[in-house]
């Protein structure tokens, strides 16, 4: 999830962008694979099938070098994916184990499912070792092969609560709640600077960044995105910062990170979205934690509400007497 609720882009959709300087000089097939989280074989097939254009001309070779300003257009099939091998060595902190779902407290630096950056050692691999029935969701075509049971995600550098479906009923019910935005997701974060208003809403559409296509950005033509925040504390040392409680109305890729950066309050240690390195945290660790998760049980009207306290590495950055 990113703190995203589902698949925002490139799932059989049209990719169209002006080539930024960061991709200039890169092979077309390599750039497509990076942008779309596909294998080189999948992007090569799209090229062979005539589904890739540059400046309105069909490109027949993946070796074509990109030029800054080129208009790249590609229609890619949904990612084929591969079934994930179970891995019992993956550490999983189970918060609630139910017949239809499992809620885990995802560890920081743990990748939820295989992608271009990491294929093995993912949370999904660990879940499959512990709950082999989850694999049936993929083998029956109910979930993507690499993402069995996944209904929302958390970024690698984010910790906290994540629910994963175990049965078809669980998958259907939880996916519907995520899609209808009736599931509640609350985060705790430390952000740069003093946020002036005690509470507010960032209501700004999010789409792929035109300058760096692997990042997201606030864009007029993006998908709607809303983030509510409440200031829990303002700190002065070792630099001005604010402790926020954040609630998602939507679940776009990197939503909290993009929205906070857009109002000049980047998440602490988020180097990709504008915060300087905080040496008190590991380089790829964000001060962002999914602290509360609320949803309706798939088999009843009962509300499932769970909380996970800040982990020690984040709590250590805050005053000991701060009540969260």
**Cα–Cα distance list, 242 to 203, 236, 268, 292 (Å):** 20, 9, 10, 19
Quote the CA–CA distance of 320 and 35 in Å, as a whole number: 43
DSSP secondary structure, 233-291, as one string: EEE-SSS-EEEEEEEESS--TTHHHHHHHHTT-PBTT-GGGTPPP-TTS-TT--SEEEE
Q: Any idea what DSSP says for residue 65?
A: B
Phi, psi dihedral angles at 30 (to 5 degrees): -70, -45
The SS3 call for residue 294 is strand
Active centre residues (catalytic): 155
């Amino acid at each position: 999830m990113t703190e995203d609720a589902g698949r925002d882009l490139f799932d059989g959709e049209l990719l169209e962008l002006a080539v930024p300087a960061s991709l200039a000089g890169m092979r077309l097939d390599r750039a497509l694979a990076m942008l779309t989280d596909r294998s080189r074989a999948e992007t090569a097939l799209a090229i062979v099938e005539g589904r890739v254009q540059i400046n309105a001309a069909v490109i027949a070779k993946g070796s074509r070098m990109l030029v800054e300003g080129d208009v790249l257009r590609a229609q890619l099939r949904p990612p084929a994916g591969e079934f994930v091998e179970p891995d019992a060595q993956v550490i999983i902190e189970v918060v609630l184990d139910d017949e239809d779902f499992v809620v885990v407290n995802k560890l920081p630096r743990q990748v939820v499912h295989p992608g271009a950056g990491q294929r093995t050692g993912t949370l999904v691999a660990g879940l499959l070792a512990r709950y082999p029935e989850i694999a049936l969701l993929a083998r029956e075509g109910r979930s993507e092969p690499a993402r069995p049971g996944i209904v929302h995600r958390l970024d690698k550098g984010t910790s906290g609560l994540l629910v994963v479906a175990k049965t078809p009923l669980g998958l259907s019910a939880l996916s519907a709640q995520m899609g209808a935005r009736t599931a509640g997701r609350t985060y705790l974060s430390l952000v740069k600077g003093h946020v002036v208003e005690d509470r507010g809403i960032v209501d700004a559409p999010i789409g792929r960044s035109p300058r760096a296509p692997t990042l997201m950005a606030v864009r007029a033509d993006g998908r709607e995105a809303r983030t509510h925040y409440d200031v829990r504390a303002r700190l002065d040392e070792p630099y001005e910062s604010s402790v926020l409680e954040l609630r998602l109305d939507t679940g776009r890729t990197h939503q909290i990170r993009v929205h906070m950066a857009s109002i000049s309050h980047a998440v602490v240690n988020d180097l990709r979205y504008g915060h300087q390195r905080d040496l008190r945290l590991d380089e790829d660790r964000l001060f962002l934690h999914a602290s509360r998760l609320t949803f309706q049980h798939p088999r009843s009207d009962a509300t499932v509400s769970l909380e996970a306290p800040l982990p020690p590495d984040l709590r250590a950055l805050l005053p000991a007497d701060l009540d969260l």
